[in-house]
Amino acid sequence: MAGIGIVGGLGVGATVHYYEKITAACKALGVVPDLAIVHADVDYGQGLVRAGKLDELADYLLVLIERLRKAGATSAVLPAVTPHICLRQLAPRASLPLLSIVVPTAAELRSRGLRKVALFGTTFTMEGGLWGLLKDVEIV
């Protein structure tokens, strides 16, 4: 199994959710997950988002992703949705492939034929409408 790196802390609840789901799925398959988790400072990250400093947020996350790579991760995930605000700045520079919540969400919405959905989360996530990452879906 490939090593998964989780950038936690920006949504502790989301990190715990990912951790629980990954370990349960692996247990059901009879494998032991290979995970590494780094903890980001939510206050610092949210401050960068509030200030519109998306390049700095990406730089901050890049350091954490590099720590995951050095720990043996072969891909990384941001369980919190709000940090995806800098995905365009982050993804091309990340030392690991990023597993994005947006890709499976978009696929599921398409499979269900949904064109308008409600989004619950931080103010940045709700008002940002996932920053154009979900194509052909109206977010309210």
pLDDT digits (tens, 9 = 90+) for 31-73: 999 999 999 999 999 999 999 999 999 999 999 999 999 999 9
Domain coordinates of the chain in residue numbers? Answer: 4-102
Q: What is the pLDDT of residue 128?
A: 62
Helix then strand then coil, in percent of the chain rounded to 5, is 55, 15, 30
CATH pick for 4-102 out of 3.40.50.300, 3.40.50.1700, 3.40.50.1860, 3.40.470.10: 3.40.50.1860
Report whether 10 contacts 86 (CB < 8 A).
Answer: no
Share of residues in the chain with pLDDT > 70 (%): 92
Q: What is the pLDDT of residue 12?
A: 87
pTM of the model: 0.85
